[in-house]
Amino acid sequence: MATEEIINLDDVNYAVYKIGEWKNNYEINQIGLSKEIPMTKNTLIHIKFSMDEIRNSQFSISDKTVNGFVAIALQLNPKVQEMELDDAIALEQSEYESILEELDNLELLNENETIPLENEDYLIYKLEKECHVTTSIPANEFTKKYYIDEIKRIEDALD
């Protein structure tokens, strides 16, 4: 009889999310465009670190320097492409502050607990570090299916 694999919720090698909705609507911040809501302290830390990395990336557009979120939105979001650059920059700042507030007010799972790796309540990603890049790999069948569906949804939205 196979034993069910269990993960500790304080394991930094896993990111755990639930599928949900953010309180606010977002146009620029990719974290807020996702339906993945962090459920563990380590996942929350990882999300904040990722946001800071994107925001710390700088790009020159017109006569302004913008962060990575603004640059990505200007490439991919037609609504943002129609905005004045200063308005897009201000919107990103506002969204960033709102996302931080939402993240800081999430009810997280108890990090002293465990959950089965195979379940349909949480999206679970195995985090693997290669050089300076962290890759999120779906760690169970539920997450794999969700991930494939999300990639298709994003591709369809870009067409």
Reference 28, options 83, 85, 64, 72; nearest CA is: 72
Give whole-number Cα distances, 154 to 86, 113, 144, 159, in Å: 26, 33, 15, 9
**pTM reported for the whole predicted model:** 0.88
Print pLDDT tens along the chain (159 aa).
Answer: 456 799 999 999 999 999 999 999 998 988 888 899 999 999 999 999 999 999 999 999 999 999 999 999 999 888 999 999 999 999 999 999 999 999 999 999 999 999 999 999 999 999 998 877 788 999 999 999 999 998 888 777 666
Report residue 138 as tokens: 């779906």
DSSP β-bridge partners for residue 113:
none
With beta carbons less than 8 A apart as the criterion, state whether 70 and 56 touch: no
Q: At what angle do helices 85-104 and 41-56 cross, to 10 degrees?
A: 160
